[in-house]
Amino acid sequence: MNAHITPPAAAPLPAPALRPVRSAALFTTGALGLAGAAWVLRAVWEVRLSVAGEPASGPPDQGGGTHRALNSLEDSYHFVNTAGGFAALLCAGAFIGWMWRIRDNGRALSGVRPRYSGIWVYLGWIVPVVNLWFPRGIIADAYLASTPGAPGARVPRSLNVWWGLWLVTMVGGVGLIYTDSTDEIIGRAYDDVWQLLTADAAVVGAAVAGIFMVRAVTAVQEKAAG
């Protein structure tokens, strides 16, 4: 007789609580602005190097592991480049922290498990091939999950602009992703500064688009949270 008794359904797991996102968004947009400003400064120094022209002694990296002494302008570019690296590192940390929060909030608002597990918030940037779309996918999913009742909801245009410019800096081997040493970049400024300036423009554009994208995603989550 007991075999015909239906066991009680398991109680659903409580939805995760919304995480505050405004402060993280403000810090992230500030870090993006700082990184963009750092790359503007790099571009200014690269133009200065190009205008000054290569010294008679040749480029700083003279091949075969030989490096000549730097002049004052080249030495200051090393400082500017190092400062830009610290700005990029700060920006990366702030951005990943913000991504983690909006992913969790998207799950809390929609009640649906995200397509990408949490580890991809970090690894999605560095694992080859998947880094071409995972970070954008995580943000897009969080945005759409925050608008569960909106038919035909679309991701912000700024998300696609930001990601397109980021891919330019990554796939093109320029911008943020340099394999050359600083001395080799100085040599490129002397020989082909326009390639460097194009890369710098892509980084600055990505930073600006990123600011608008962070604000748009944050705003929709705050609105959904009431």
pLDDT at position 161, please? 97
46-57 confidence digits (pLDDT tens): 999 999 999 999
Token pair in block for residue 161 = 């602009």
Residue 63: exposure state from Cβ atoms within 10 A (0-12, 13-18, ≥19): exposed
Token pair in block for residue 219 = 């705003």
In DSSP terms, 61 is beta-bridged to 67
126-156 confidence digits (pLDDT tens): 999 999 999 999 999 999 998 866 556 789 9
Token pair in block for residue 20 = 């505050």
Residue 106: exposure state from Cβ atoms within 10 A (0-12, 13-18, ≥19): buried
Residue 58 backbone zone (phi > 0: left; psi -120 to 50: alpha; other: beta): left
pLDDT at position 226, please? 74
- Which one is predicted more confidently, 36 or 66? 36
- Which one is predicted more confidently, 64 or 207? 207
4-16 confidence digits (pLDDT tens): 554 444 444 455 5
pLDDT above 50 (res 98): yes
- Which one is predicted more confidently, 43 or 5? 43
180-207 confidence digits (pLDDT tens): 789 989 999 999 899 899 989 999 999 9
Q: Cα–Cα distance between 196 and 182 in angstroms, integer?
A: 12
Q: Cα–Cα distance between 168 and 38 in angstroms, integer?
A: 18
3-state DSSP helix/strand/coil % of the chain, to nearest 5: 65, 0, 35
Chain centre distance of CA 15: 29
pLDDT at position 174, please? 54
In DSSP terms, 67 is beta-bridged to 61
